[in-house]
Amino acid sequence: MKNKITKIALLSIFSLIGIFILFNLIGFLYAYITPKLDISSANAFSVFDNKGKLVFQGNGNDSWIPLDEMNENLINATISVEDKNFYTHWGFDYPRIAKAMMVNLAAGEIEQGASSITQQYAKNLFLDFEQSWKRKWKEMWLTYELEAHYTKDEILEGYLNTINYGHGMYGVSNAAKYYFNKDVKDLSLSEASVLAGIPNSPSDYSPVDNFDLSKKRQKVVLERMYNNGYISKEEMDAAYKKKLVLKNDDFGSDLSSLIYYNDAVMNELNNLGTIPNSYLDTGNIRIYTTLDVDAQKALEAGLKKNAIDENSETAKVMINPKDGSVIALIGGLNYGKSQFNRAINSLRQPGSTIKPFLYYRALENGFTPSTTFFSKETNFYFDNKKTYSPKNYGNIYANKEISLAAAIAYSDNIYAVKTHLFLGEEELFETLKKVGITSKMEKSPSLALGAYEVNITELAAAYASLANGGKKVTPHLISKVVDKKGNTLYEYKEKKEEIIFNSDITFIISELLTSTYDTNLIDYTYPTCISMTSDITHKYAIKTGSTDTDSWVIGYTPEVVFASWAGYDDNSSISTNIVAGNKSSWIKSMEKYFDKKDASWYDVPEDVVGVLVNPITGNPVSSKNENKKILYYLEGTEPNLKEGSYDKQEKQ
């Protein structure tokens, strides 16, 4: 019986091997009879920022270097560390794939990759960065096509001229100039081994950002060169010990996070539906975007504050609220580690960042900043015998009447749910649909607390309607696409202006959102953004939101909306460090953005009046009162002012 089972097992294994070999043979033969792909023009595209400056260039650029003019050490280093069997396999290194699978299964995580140089080059020949099985099948067939129609030297040449070396540098010629200010042929063994180590994880192994990690990676590269017989032990030791001299120019002008923005651009390009497939397949296009390089630098300035641990992630979006143009975007902490672009693809629970839309609707329906509800731990009962028991953060309750202004400052959940139920659940639902939230939602009590998932870019665009005085905008990254002859293939046309909010009320909301970091609202608890107060040098409207798994900060001025999310991809619970890090990251980036420009604020509308009140109770007070703030009201709805209870000149 045992022998019979063994024979069946062996037969099954040999059958699978036979099917596998047959499948690969068919794939290779099929690729051989298909038309030859013109890799010299594939992915030939250029991306420009909002000032018309080139920020990204794909295949087919002027810096293409023939293989016979490249540095031999660089070629040998790349083959040694990326694909030592490159010249002997047919595009897939199956023994290496099998070994990597065993290592990863034993470790319970991805510790080794097994992509060949041909496979990596195939990835570079696409204009899109979609992460899907369809994409992977396409890469596989293209790998077969490359191996069927091109020599190994031609494939290696293409790879070295298109691979990502970090900081927006694609191709070894650009990388050699950027890091060492040298031509490729002039690189030393020490320099070549450093460059060869970068593509595995550009953001980790850049000698500019992580010199120590770069040296560790260089040691791995040199050891593999030695093991493969390309260099002697003496050459290996000398190259590692040689002092690495980077060029002295300012490295800050190049952005390692730019790949996420470019990723989002390509995603939008593929979804336009107006660019002929021939251009998407072969490239030769110039893409003009809404990217503001200074804004992208500002996002990067705060990025390290989000790196709480090796598994935490973030997504950040800056939008011009006047027209919806996305001026900066980051989809994760490390593109080399994860290509998933959270800024455009993820859906997360927004928590309390939904509340400004609820309170806009409340103000539109007769509420004022002084409207009060009693805030205490509450169980809500409904006709269907269901109950809802929301909690405040930290289980902190006022146990007294508080104003709408205080409810925003403290992000009081009891006040929010009472407002939501008072208005009717359809009010907030319809408002969110009106501002462009397309994610699936339901009319429920928990909608007021952001219990349904949204996309960060979509939510940032919704906030733009508050920031611009009520106009709905469409978030977009591409302003124009032209072909190599200068013919316009696409141009963004701003949709007919759709006013969805009252500008008087958006002004009041914007002012109320400054309460989140105002020390005048310190009472039984603290405003949600009080930890940011000491770093704030401009006037911002800010709202935070936290769930068990998500941390959000969204804020704006008339010039910019900035949304930042932090958390874990696997929906693990977040710690207070994640929340604090996201707040710190937001204010660092926002202050950096306005470092060399003025942040304006809104003029008081004609039909709005300001009254000095106690912002916690909503009652008018004298300037001598300890807790005071000017709150704004639609004229005629301001609180009843009694003689002697305020300084008349303080009504504005």
Per-residue burial over 523-544, b = 16 or more CB atoms within 10 Å of its CB, e = otherwise: bebbbbbbebeeebeeebbbbb
Q: Report, as an integer, the average pLDDT of 250-265.
A: 73
Count the neighbouring beta carbons within 10 Å of the beta carbon of residue 596. Answer: 7
Average pLDDT along the chain: 85
As its CATH architecture, domain 64-254 has Orthogonal Bundle (1.10)
The single residue of 325, 352, 375, 564 carrying the catalytic annotation is 352
| Predicted pLDDT of residue 497 | 79
Q: What is the pLDDT of residues 364-395, one digit of tens each?
A: 999 999 999 999 999 998 877 789 999 999 99
In this model, does residue 112 exceed pLDDT 60?
no
pLDDT digits (tens, 9 = 90+) for 281-296: 556 788 999 999 999 9
- Does position 462 have pLDDT exceeding 60, yes or no? yes
Q: Coil, strand, or helix at residue 492?
A: coil
Residue intervals in the chain for CATH 3.40.710.10: 303-593
Q: What percent of the chain has pLDDT over 90?
A: 57
List 46, 80, 82, 465, catalytic entry:
82
pTM of the model: 0.78
Q: Is the pLDDT of residue 124 over 90?
A: no
What's the pLDDT at 475?
96
Strands 44-48 and 283-289 turn out to be parallel
Is 168 or 74 the better-scoring residue by pLDDT? 74
* Range list for CATH 1.10.3810.10 in the chain: 64-254
Asked whether residue 71 carries a pLDDT value surpassing 70, the answer given is yes
- pLDDT at res. 648: 37
What are the helix (H) ranges across 482-617? 503-512, 576-593
Mean pLDDT within 105-110: 50
- Is residue 649 predicted with pLDDT exceeding 70? no
Tens of pLDDT, residue by residue over 604-619, are: 999 999 999 999 999 9
Is the confidence at residue 19, as pLDDT, over 80? no
Q: What is the pLDDT of residues 521-572, one digit of tens each?
A: 999 999 999 999 999 999 999 999 999 999 999 999 999 999 999 999 999 9
Confidence (pLDDT) at 39: 63
pLDDT of the residue at 20: 56
Report the candidate in 298, 320, 266, 302 with the shortest Cα–Cα distance to residue 50: 320
Fold (CATH) for 303-593? Beta-lactamase (3.40.710)
pLDDT of res. 251: 47
Express each pLDDT in 42-63 by its tens digit: 556 788 999 998 887 665 455 6
Confidence band, pLDDT 50/70/90 cuts, at residue 164? confident
Which amino acid appears at position 406 of this protein? Answer: A
Task: Kindly report the backbone phi and psi dihedral angles of residue 552, in degrees, each rounded to the nearest multiple of 5, phi listed first.
Answer: -130, 145
Contact 620, 628 (CB under 8 A): no
Question: pLDDT digits over 184-206, tens only?
Answer: 999 999 999 999 999 888 878 98
State what percent of residues in the chain have pLDDT above 70: 81
Is 352 part of the annotated catalytic residue set?
yes
pLDDT of 279 over the 80 cut: no
Least confident of 39-53, 67-81, 96-110, 395-409: 96-110
Q: How far is 456 from 440, CA to CA, in rounded Å?
A: 14
Reported as a pLDDT band with limits 50, 70 and 90, residue 96 is: low
